[in-house]
Amino acid sequence: MKKLLILILIFLHLLIAGQAVAVDDGDLTDLWIDLSMGAPLVDLFNERARADDIARVEHVSQLDLLEDVAVGKKLVVFKSAADAMRLLPHIHESIDIVGYNLEHGPANPIFEQENPVESIKRLREVTDEYDLELALGPDHRFAESDGAAMAPYADYFILQVQKVQTEPDTVYEFVEPLLKDIRLANPDIEISLQIRTEGEVDDLLALLEPLKDEIQGISILTSEETLDVADELMNTLRPEGQVVEPEPTLEVPDEDEAKDITEAISTAAAGDNSVETGNEPSQFESNDIQDDGTQAMLSISPSPVPTATEIVSTAEANEQSGTNALFIVIAIVVSFALGAGYVSYRTGM
């Protein structure tokens, strides 16, 4: 009898755990995309991108490319925090995110290389002034030496792995310790892995797959020579079904209409179904949205107003259905266990 009860408990545990795994299972298509723009990629981005995706230009001289971007966020990269602070008063209305690409090289001011934390702190003050977000993309050495110290001043942290993207072990050895340190320094920061459109798309996806639950985005460097790879990668990460359409704006009734609606609902709730078709409706049977984005005509039904428990969305209904099914299975198993226990007791087994 004890063995039977143990087996039943194991079964229930696996059943519930199985449902939890199904809910938590993520996918690379859930991550936002930060795509480096080139003229041929603007149309692709507009067709495929979601509202949380980012269109990026690598230099302020390319800012005009962002004018044709119709979806997502817009980011321009600066090698110098001082340059960004000088130009933001003139361009802040054209972008959403300032990118700070701090690296060891002649394009980055020596002062900023020697004072990385102070530099991003000053830049943060200016981006806050213009209500802009800040993305930090340091090179390998700065990421390891000062990444965690700079993280509290950034909204996004881009980990550059494109130079070693064909060496997965090297990537993970570099990324995994940094993920912990950056997250500890700034729990709210969004972290992405930066790859380039070279090689096979399947290999790039395989590189990202083990980290999909630890990062929030994928940053993609492109070039004119690899547009076909960029196209395939976007089509894979953003299949047609992933495109998020803007929700239509519902018409809000004016004061008189609201009063009429309130009176109609009160009448219906009181059980009076004698409201004429030409007057106020007694129930809103349909609230569908037409193709042109306007609110459809509210049809009239003499039935009572539905209660709050009856107004359940499709997603909620499905969730409730799954939960109910689980409880039914549990109830059957428990009943079986009790019955078996009773038989065992009666027979002395």
Same domain? 75 vs 179: yes
Q: What is the pLDDT of residues 83-97, one digit of tens each?
A: 999 999 999 999 999
CATH number, position 134 = 3.20.20.70
For residue 325, what pLDDT is reported? 53
- Give the domain-ending residue among 242, 262, 288: 242
Residue 148 covered by a domain: yes
Same domain? 229 vs 329: no
Same domain? 197 vs 55: yes
Chain CA centroid to CA 133, Å: 16
- Name the token pair of 168: 């997965």
CB atoms within 10 A of CB 109: 16
CA 110/CA 87 separation, integer angstroms: 20
Instruction: With both helix axes pointing from N to C terminus, report the angle between 227-237 and 201-208 in degrees, rounded to the nearest 10.
Output: 50
Residue 3 covered by a domain: no
Structural domains of the chain, count? 3
Q: What is the pLDDT of residues 299-323, one digit of tens each?
A: 323 334 333 333 334 444 444 545 5
More confident residue, 101 or 287: 101
Same domain? 295 vs 323: no
Residue 297 covered by a domain: yes
Mean pLDDT of the residues in the chain: 76
Structural domain range at position 319: 314-349
Same domain? 158 vs 173: yes
The confidence band for 193, taking pLDDT boundaries of 50, 70 and 90, is: very high
- Name the token pair of 252: 């809000």
Residue 18 covered by a domain: no
Same domain? 53 vs 91: yes
The confidence band for 298, taking pLDDT boundaries of 50, 70 and 90, is: very low
- Give the domain-ending residue among 242, 270, 285: 242
Same domain? 253 vs 236: no
% of the chain residues with pLDDT over 70:
61
For residue 333, what pLDDT is reported? 53
In order, the DSSP letters of 151-194 are GGG-SEEEEE-GGGTT-HHHHHHHHHHHHHHHHHH-TT-EEEEE
Same domain? 290 vs 346: no
Instruction: With both helix axes pointing from N to C terminus, report the angle between 2-24 and 314-347 in degrees, rounded to the nearest 10.
Output: 170
- Give the domain-ending residue among 219, 242, 265: 242
Those residues whose C-beta lies under 8 Å from the C-beta of residue 85, and which sit 6 or more positions away, are 122, 123, 126
Q: Up-side HSE of residue 115: CA atoms within 13 Å toward CB?
A: 11
Q: What is the pLDDT of residues 211-269, one digit of tens each?
A: 999 999 999 999 999 999 999 999 999 987 444 454 454 445 556 655 554 554 454 44
Same domain? 179 vs 42: yes
